[in-house]
Amino acid sequence: MDLSDKWALVTGAGRGIGKGCALQLAARGADLIVNDRPGSPDLATTVQEIEALGRRCFPVEADAFQRTGCEQMVSDAIARAGRIDILVSNVAFSDRCSFLDYPPELFEQTLDGTLLAGFHVSQLTARHMVERGEGGKIVFISSVQADRPFAHCVAYGAAKSGLNHMMRTIAVELFDHRINVNAIEPGWIDTPGEHETFGTDRIAAEAAGLPWGRLGTPADIGKAAAFLSSDDSDYVTGTILRVDGGFVYRECRRPELDPELDRVMPLVLEGVVKRDRLSNPVGTEDEALLERFAVRLGAALLVGEDHLDPRSVHAVEVVLQEGVDPVLQDVRQVPHGEKGRQCLVVREERESAAAEVIVKTAQPEDDAE
């Protein structure tokens, strides 16, 4: 993908996904106009890294959440570079809050900063592209939240869903001008904002359970943006490219399990999810984490290399060192009790610490002591 002799405008390029897109475009030969909010402490670093790649780069500080700010940004970009061949619209605002408590003004702010801002910058840039008459590329950064509901993200999900539909409509209207308009849906991406929201420890623990075993990176999104900005995507428009490492399908990879699963899984769920019986055995208040752990235990019971006979499962007990997140890394059977009852041991090692989860299979009452 050769982007030589192209000028690209990337919004929100101070850090995270916007910066990742700018760097990947530059790595393929594009020159950059990079935008971030006025007073951004990060934009200068982005400029330095792009110039280190041998590309020209002009910073434009402007409030992309406002029409006047977008007008200033596009005008300054054209004045500095002479033209805009590529737009990567990465402007967005998000603040988590439950639906019942969501302040109306925060909802409006999220729509303005995510959907309306994307409209402003794309309309102004597209007018310039149409006037030049040489086509162009517009890439919106959307989100998997446009398609999947996430609690406490009612405004952001609605804004991104609207952004997707807006993108398609813009693509249709710009057919005759040969301006390709597409969107990228990132999954869970390892950005400074995510670490600020969730914390590094939780991100590391959750990442291990994702299909690719990691969060995505800004470079992953940048590579997709580079493709959609290149001639290689000439026949692609009005399309949403999901870049999520299987994130949205992470709960769909359960193997074909023994028919006894329907009988065994309620026991596992009861033992793990109902914390009132086990005093929160996994040391977390995260219901989703508890349920995912329970499902993984159930799968291990039935399809582990040395799986237990599901017909022998009559009760489940979970014992775990407090405060250690459950990560199934080693599953094995060991004898338990004087009569050789089997149990499942799940061992986790992290930073020289270890914990064991023991799932005991109690014998039927007529075999009990």
**Token pair for 222:** 């940048």
Backbone angles phi, psi at 163, to 5 degrees: -60, -40
Catalytic residue among 6, 19, 137, 160: 160
Given the residues 19, 137, 156, 360, select the one marked as catalytic: 156
CA-wise closest residue to 11 among 106, 125, 105? 125
Q: Contact at 8 Å (CB) between 13 and 22? A: yes
Q: Which residue has the tokens 């290689």?
A: 232
Q: Does the active-site annotation cover 156?
A: yes
Structure tokens at 46: 């982005």
Count of beta carbons in the 10 Å neighbourhood of residue 5: 9
| Cβ atoms within 10 Å of 107's Cβ, excluding its own | 18
The residues, any chain, with a CB within 8 Å of residue 15's CB and separated by 6 or more, are: 42, 46, 191, 192
3-state class (DSSP) for residue 56: coil
> What is the CA angle 151-118-164, rounded to 5?
55
Cα 298 versus chain centre, distance: 27
Which residue in 71, 74, 92 sits closest to 83, CA to CA? 74
Question: Which DSSP helix (H) or strand (E) runs through 271?
Answer: helix 261-272
Please list the active-site residues.
Answer: 156, 160
